[in-house]
Amino acid sequence: MAKAIFLDKDGTLIPDIPYNVKPALITLQANAIKGLQRLRDEGYLFIVISNQAGVASGIFTEDALPAVEKRLAELMDVHGLQLSGFYYCPHYPDGIVEGYNYDCDCRKPKPGMIINAGQDHNIDLAESWMIGDILNDVEAGNRAGCKTVLIDNGNETEWVTGPMRVPTYTCTSINQAATNILTTQMA
């Protein structure tokens, strides 16, 4: 079985520009590339796991997301990294777009996207990690059976705690997260 790094997109892998689906505005976090390269060298797959409530909220349509995935893959490829999967949840219970405005099993903090990705890519979730910048990311990873990293960069504003919302590590960047993950792997 494979092992993976599940990455939240906005605020974790890329700078957070709310509801951005313009490829020209998408860049990788500068403090992520070396860490991702180190994790790649240890055999981890990279899979994006992202809530995209902008679809249900009527801010953009679902057909804008393939261009986002393509841009992420291009940016990663420049650094010798491969994006193995791009999973998103277009649902939001308070949305205004019919057919998208409901409570689903894929929207983080639920683990649906991670579980689906695990099945699709034959991933051992217990050997995998979810990295995100809010506790909903952490909870989704923990519920899926992964280890978790919270990137504490100021994006978590609610700090609603609970047993499934405790990360394995709290770090300031993906580079720092990689060091902790690889140290854990060697222990």
Question: What span, in angstroms and rounded, lies between the C-alpha atoms of 108 and 50?
Answer: 8
Annotated catalytic residue: which of 10, 41, 103, 133?
10
Q: Which residue among the candidates 8, 105, 133, 152 is catalytic per the annotation?
A: 8
Respond yes or no: is residue 137 known to be catalytic: no
The tally of CA atoms less than 13 A away on the side-chain side of residue 5 is 32
In the sheet that holds 3-7, the strands lie side by side as: 83-89, 44-51, 3-7, 129-132, 147-151, 169-171
The Cα 30–Cα 187 span in angstroms is 28
DSSP characters over 127-181? G-EEEESSHHHHHHHHHHT-EEEEE-SS---S----GGG--SEEESSHHHHHHHH
Active site residue 8: yes
Catalytic annotation, residues: 8, 10
